[in-house]
Chain A
Amino acid sequence: MAWSLAQWRSVRLETDITRFLPEGNQRDRLALSGLVKATGFSRGLVIDIAVPDSMPSDAATDAAATMVTGLASDLASSTLFKSVRTGPGASTAEDFQRLYFPRRLAFLSDDPQQEVPRLFSPDGLAAAMRRLKDALVLPTGPLVKSLAPSDPLMSFADLLQRAEGGIAKLAPRQLNGQWYSADLRHALILTETTAAAFDTDAQRAAMVLVRDRFAARNAEAGGGYVLSFTGLGRFVTESEDRAKSDISFASISSTIACALLFLMFFRRLRFLVLAFLPVSIGVAAAVGVLAGFQGSIHGLTLGFGGVLIGACIDYPIHLLNGLRTPPEADDVAQKAAARAMRRNLGAGVVTSLSGFLVLCFSDYPGIREIAVFCMVGIAVAFASTVLFLPPLKPWLAPRPGGRPATAFHIPIDRALAVLRRHRAVILGLLVVMAVAATAMLPSLRLEQDARALDAGEPVTLAEDAAIRSHLPSSAFPRVVLASGSDLQQALARSDTVHADLAARRAAGTGPDFASMHALLPSAELQQGNLDTLAALPDPATLIDASLRSAGFRPERFQPFITELGRVRDGLVHPLLPSDLAGTSLDGLLQGFTFTHADRAYVLTLAGPEVTPGDLLDLEKPDGSVTVMDPRALVSSLVTSSQRQTLALVATGVLLNIILIAAVRRRPRLALATLAPTLLTLLVVTGGIAALGIPLNFLHVVSLLLILCMGIDLGLFLLDDDAGTAGGAGAAPTVLLSALTTAVSFGLMGFCRTSALVSVGVTVGVGIAVLGLLTFAVRALAFGGLREPT
């Protein structure tokens, strides 16, 4: 215990919702997708400034540019931001020209052995000259004309086209060097925070700075601008805030509710202290154990921990009820009652632990964490109860011949007697419930969207959706990752992916895509172009004839002939990733490449598939090419393990049936004990289906929680061997136990985290239904008044 408490000093709160995703190959993919930085959302904040509606377009863009430049300057001067970009950067065009123009002939073709000789054939050159002439009449004619003497084949124009058709299509609309939404009503700033997205303190500070500086700039500009921003950091920070608020709410409200219910029943403060002491020790030990072994606790686990109090308090409730009840008339009866109490408490804790033990085999690390937390908490609370409370019996029990301390009057016996008189009606109602619930099962839908587990704040989600719609990258949800032992091998595989996607696109069977290949094909491919060109026999004569025939003056094109000579002499070299270092294009390279576990990755972004799933055949069995849809991946991860979760719950149910059968020994008694629980599981599942709520894995886990926490009710209420504190005599404490558990979990329904709400409402309602059904079965099977068997 001391060790557990010592661990509290170093415990860290975790809010990463991906811990509630199953492990395995798919989860590894999600980890990779988290490293994808090309879209800007995972590496910082995307800031969107809407111009006032009343402002006309020309004035709006001019004014927005001034406002955005000021704000960007404010942010860039802070150490909280690593980079702040409002447009492509003044040096991008210069860097592109400086790096690519001298190497333009290395980019001639993706299939140089076939296409380069064809391009330098008489027909190929004639077509190139026609194209050059046509291009001169276009608004881009000045560019073509200035480059034509060195580049009559328009290789550099093609290279610009490659860039445009590649990564540049991810860039927002530009006007005067500033990024805007397509309708020019929103100016955009892409930032990269210095701290990682999960460093919530730094993210919070960055967001405060954005809001403060925007407010100041907006006031300077006369007001009317609207700020919105999004990014992983915002979601993580808000998720943490939500988790902290939920933990406080769940713990405090659950404690107060349990305390009030307890005081209503026992009417003794000392009983309250005695009941809460084992529970507090259990929760403290659970936090300490997790902190000691893994250094952190997830917010959802602590949220659960807060309401665990409602489940753990059952042991002191039943034991205190037994201790405060007048002793049985004779020694035999006293011993039988004590045995029954030990048996029922033991069975209660074993059924609870068995349910959570089953969950320890879940694919979901988060569920395993909750299971360990609950097992430690319940076991320690139970041990504390049976160790510390019995020695206090003399202090708690009434004097011989006396009456127990006055408790809140609950006319349970009268209610049970009424139920007993209407056994046929009750039986009919139970049958109707079972049939109706069973009839609803076929309409049960499985949750496909993982965002239902931790939906963000509505305002944040709305801003995120709006900003994404202003960015072209939202049109490319698919991620294709090509990997290799080094970057050149990954680039070569990316070349192959590009060729495949381009062929599909040309055939109308594939989606639009943005590839690194456009800017940086492998050195091997570039060298192939240069080698093929160098091997051509005397292209100068053919070029001269083609120019003359098309009406050009050949003498003006000497720079191109000279360049061909440089290629032949091996003086032109492929462009390498290291050439981009320190240039304005380096950001693109960093956004589209990363290393993970000693492998280099190059990514390609693709639009939605023409036929769903048809990009999956790009994948290679050796894992060198993988295809992902990060958003769908999260959801597919959730649904992929639903079958396993169902199997675990089924195992838990089976385990509990065996345990109850072993404890009860008599089939009728075992059946009566199990019937309310099994019927409750059916009714809750049918209810979820009837309400049209998609069943998520947390609902399924909740069913197991209902089983392992609720079966205690039947153990005590349906056991007439337990003396005055068992059977009908236990009815008030069973009611109290059901109420504390139902209320504790039910209060979770008011939390802001969707996952906690799912569990809270399901378990809360389930335990309430189970309580009612247990009493109904008591009336049916045993009658209302105490009838010792």
Chain B
Amino acid sequence: MAADAPVSVAPRPCNEVPGLTQSFTDVSTLRAAFTDRKEIAILNAPLVSKGHVYYQRPDRLHIVTEAPARQSVTLSGARIKVVQADLGRESSMDLGASEVARAVVANMLLVLGGRIDALSSLYRCEAVPEEDAWRLTLVPLRDPLAKAVRKMDVRMARDGTLREVRVEELGGDASTMTFRDTVANRPFTDEEAKAYFTP
């Protein structure tokens, strides 16, 4: 075991783990490739999608799905635009119409943005140190997430880069989003910001 390996694997409250908050709060922009695997009760088989995600604090998010269908999502505040290239459809909607969807997206933004302070007020947050990463278990404290989500597991490298987010729902559905080629805190150029985040 390396000299600086964690001495204990018992979960500890997030706010008591030295260095954790600092690692999270430093994320202002993020680029990453992802694979998302959803296990949903209304489907016979898991639904797997792949693509890229681009994030800028506090509330700009752009997700490009390349498989199984080409789709892109642009989030600006509470407004979300979806372009389904394969179906030739483009739509936008206000997340305010569904408090669950709004809460899920808001939490995604908090995770991507490393808002451990905000997450700690919404979840019971426990951290387990791994060899070169943190594993956080987040259990919702209040509705509407508490009515829908059992827990969320977040794995993050010690350098602050996100690796995996797994969400387990109360109804048994689950989704696992795995990130790779993560680049944090590299500012977007004006062209990139326009291309990714224009609602």
Chain B 36-50 residues near chain A, CB threshold 8 A: 36, 38, 40-45, 47, 49
CB-nearest residue of chain B relative to A547?
B42
C-alpha spacing A311/B130, complex, angstroms:
95
C-alpha spacing A157/B91, complex, angstroms:
10
Interface string of B69-108 (1 = CB under 8 A from A): 1010101111110101011010111111111110011001
Partner pick for A173 among B44, B79, B105, CB 8 A cutoff = B79
Q: Which residues of B contact A164 (CB under 8 A)?
A: 79, 91-94
C-alpha spacing A130/B93, complex, angstroms:
20
Q: Which of B45, B77, B104 counts the most chain A CB atoms within 10 A?
A: B77
CB atoms of B40 and A145 under 8 A apart: yes
C-alpha spacing A139/B112, complex, angstroms:
13
Chain B 152-199 residues near chain A, CB threshold 8 A: 173, 175
CB atoms of B78 and A145 under 8 A apart: no
Partner pick for A93 among B45, B63, B99, CB 8 A cutoff = B99
CB atoms of B97 and A139 under 8 A apart: no
C-alpha spacing A97/B75, complex, angstroms:
22
Q: Which residues of B contact A163 (CB under 8 A)?
A: 93-94, 97
CB-nearest residue of chain B relative to A180?
B77
Known A-B contacts A58-B58, A173-B79; A142 and B94 likewise in contact (beta carbons under 8 Å): no
CB atoms of B97 and A97 under 8 A apart: yes
CB atoms of B41 and A173 under 8 A apart: no
Chain A 131-151 residues near chain B, CB threshold 8 A: 131, 133-134, 136-143, 145-146, 148-149
Partner pick for B57 among A58, A141, A157, A551, CB 8 A cutoff = A58
C-alpha spacing A553/B59, complex, angstroms:
36
Q: Which residues of B contact A225 (CB under 8 A)?
A: none
Interface residues on A, range: 35 or more
Q: Which of B36, B63, B101 counts the most chain A CB atoms within 10 A?
A: B101
Chain A 167-195 residues near chain B, CB threshold 8 A: 168, 171, 173-175, 177, 180, 184
CB atoms of B96 and A140 under 8 A apart: no
CB-nearest residue of chain A relative to B145?
A142
A422 in the interface, Cβ–Cβ < 8 Å? no
Partner pick for B43 among A143, A180, A552, CB 8 A cutoff = A552
Partner pick for B42 among A173, A180, A556, CB 8 A cutoff = A556
Q: Which of B76, B91, B97 counts the most chain A CB atoms within 10 A?
A: B97
C-alpha spacing A423/B76, complex, angstroms:
79
B137 in the interface, Cβ–Cβ < 8 Å? no
B148 in the interface, Cβ–Cβ < 8 Å? yes
B65 in the interface, Cβ–Cβ < 8 Å? yes
Chain B 14-51 residues near chain A, CB threshold 8 A: 36, 38, 40-45, 47, 49
CB atoms of B97 and A96 under 8 A apart: yes
A61 in the interface, Cβ–Cβ < 8 Å? yes
Chain A 79-134 residues near chain B, CB threshold 8 A: 88, 92-93, 96-97, 127, 130-131, 133-134
A165 in the interface, Cβ–Cβ < 8 Å? yes
Q: Which residues of A contact B95 (CB under 8 A)?
A: 140
CB atoms of B98 and A134 under 8 A apart: no
CB atoms of B71 and A57 under 8 A apart: no
CB atoms of A552 and B42 under 8 A apart: yes
A469 in the interface, Cβ–Cβ < 8 Å? no
Partner pick for B82 among A140, A142, A177, CB 8 A cutoff = A140
CB atoms of A93 and B98 under 8 A apart: yes
Known A-B contacts A136-B38, A137-B71, A551-B43; A174 and B96 likewise in contact (beta carbons under 8 Å): yes
Q: Which residues of B contact A140 (CB under 8 A)?
A: 73, 80, 82, 93, 95, 98, 101, 105
C-alpha spacing A141/B84, complex, angstroms:
14
Q: Which residues of A contact B101 (CB under 8 A)?
A: 139-140, 142-143
Q: Which residues of B contact A137 (CB under 8 A)?
A: 36, 38, 47, 49, 65, 68-69, 71
CB atoms of A145 and B42 under 8 A apart: yes
CB atoms of A553 and B96 under 8 A apart: no
C-alpha spacing A88/B68, complex, angstroms:
36
Q: Which residues of A contact B71 (CB under 8 A)?
A: 134, 137-138
Known A-B contacts A141-B38, A174-B79; A160 and B47 likewise in contact (beta carbons under 8 Å): no
Interface residues on B, range: 35 or more
CB atoms of A138 and B82 under 8 A apart: yes
A161 in the interface, Cβ–Cβ < 8 Å? yes
CB atoms of A136 and B40 under 8 A apart: yes
Partner pick for A553 among B41, B76, B87, B108, CB 8 A cutoff = B41
Distance to closest chain B CB from A122 (angstroms): 17
Q: Which residues of B contact A136 (CB under 8 A)?
A: 38, 40, 43, 47
Q: Which residues of B contact A557 (CB under 8 A)?
A: 42
C-alpha spacing A175/B75, complex, angstroms:
12
Q: Which residues of B contact A146 (CB under 8 A)?
A: 98, 100, 148
C-alpha spacing A58/B87, complex, angstroms:
36
Partner pick for B73 among A88, A138, A143, CB 8 A cutoff = A138
Known A-B contacts A142-B100, A142-B104, A174-B77; A161 and B91 likewise in contact (beta carbons under 8 Å): yes
Count of inter-chain pairs, beta carbons less than 8 A: 135
C-alpha spacing A173/B92, complex, angstroms:
13
Known A-B contacts A58-B58, A134-B87, A164-B93; A139 and B100 likewise in contact (beta carbons under 8 Å): no
CB atoms of A93 and B87 under 8 A apart: no
Q: Which residues of B contact A556 (CB under 8 A)?
A: 41-42
Q: Which residues of A contact B105 (CB under 8 A)?
A: 139-140
Q: Which residues of A contact B57 (CB under 8 A)?
A: 57-58
Q: Which residues of B contact A143 (CB under 8 A)?
A: 97-98, 100-101
Known A-B contacts A57-B58, A148-B42; A131 and B93 likewise in contact (beta carbons under 8 Å): no
CB atoms of B42 and A553 under 8 A apart: yes
Distance to closest chain B CB from A549 (angstroms): 11
CB atoms of A174 and B44 under 8 A apart: no
Q: Which residues of A contact B99 (CB under 8 A)?
A: 93
CB atoms of A139 and B44 under 8 A apart: no
CB-nearest residue of chain A relative to B49?
A137
Known A-B contacts A130-B87, A139-B80, A174-B79; A93 and B44 likewise in contact (beta carbons under 8 Å): no
Distance to closest chain B CB from A162 (angstroms): 9
CB atoms of B94 and A553 under 8 A apart: no
CB atoms of A551 and B80 under 8 A apart: no
CB-nearest residue of chain A relative to B56?
A57
Distance to closest chain A CB from B60 (angstroms): 10
Q: Which of A92, A93, A552 counts the most chain B CB atoms within 10 A?
A: A93
Q: Which residues of A contact B104 (CB under 8 A)?
A: 139, 142
Known A-B contacts A139-B108, A161-B92, A161-B93; A551 and B100 likewise in contact (beta carbons under 8 Å): no
Q: Which of B40, B49, B78, B98 counts the most chain A CB atoms within 10 A?
A: B98
C-alpha spacing A130/B68, complex, angstroms:
11
CB-nearest residue of chain B relative to A138?
B73
CB-nearest residue of chain B relative to A57?
B58
Q: Which residues of A contact B82 (CB under 8 A)?
A: 138, 140
Distance to closest chain B CB from A62 (angstroms): 9
C-alpha spacing A173/B198, complex, angstroms:
13
Q: Which of A93, A134, A149 counts the most chain B CB atoms within 10 A?
A: A134
Q: Which residues of A contact B38 (CB under 8 A)?
A: 136-137, 141
C-alpha spacing A638/B25, complex, angstroms:
59
Q: Which residues of A contact B45 (CB under 8 A)?
A: 551
Q: Which residues of A contact B69 (CB under 8 A)?
A: 130, 134, 137
C-alpha spacing A148/B171, complex, angstroms:
14
Residues of A within 8 A of B (CB): 57-58, 61, 88, 92-93, 96-97, 127, 130-131, 133-134, 136-143, 145-146, 148-149, 157-158, 160-161, 163-165, 168, 171, 173-175, 177, 180, 184, 551-553, 556-557
A-B contact pairs, 9 of them (CB 8 A): A127-B87, A137-B69, A139-B101, A143-B101, A160-B97, A161-B93, A163-B94, A163-B97, A164-B79
Q: Nearest 5 CB-CB pairs, A to B?
A: A143-B101, A143-B98, A137-B49, A174-B78, A161-B91
Known: A141-B38, A553-B42. 13 other contacts (CB 8 A): A57-B57, A58-B57, A58-B115, A61-B58, A96-B97, A130-B87, A136-B43, A138-B73, A139-B63, A139-B101, A142-B100, A552-B43, A553-B43
Residues of B within 8 A of A (CB): 36, 38, 40-45, 47, 49, 57-59, 61, 63, 65, 68-69, 71, 73, 75-80, 82, 84, 86-87, 89, 91-101, 104-105, 108, 115, 148, 173, 175
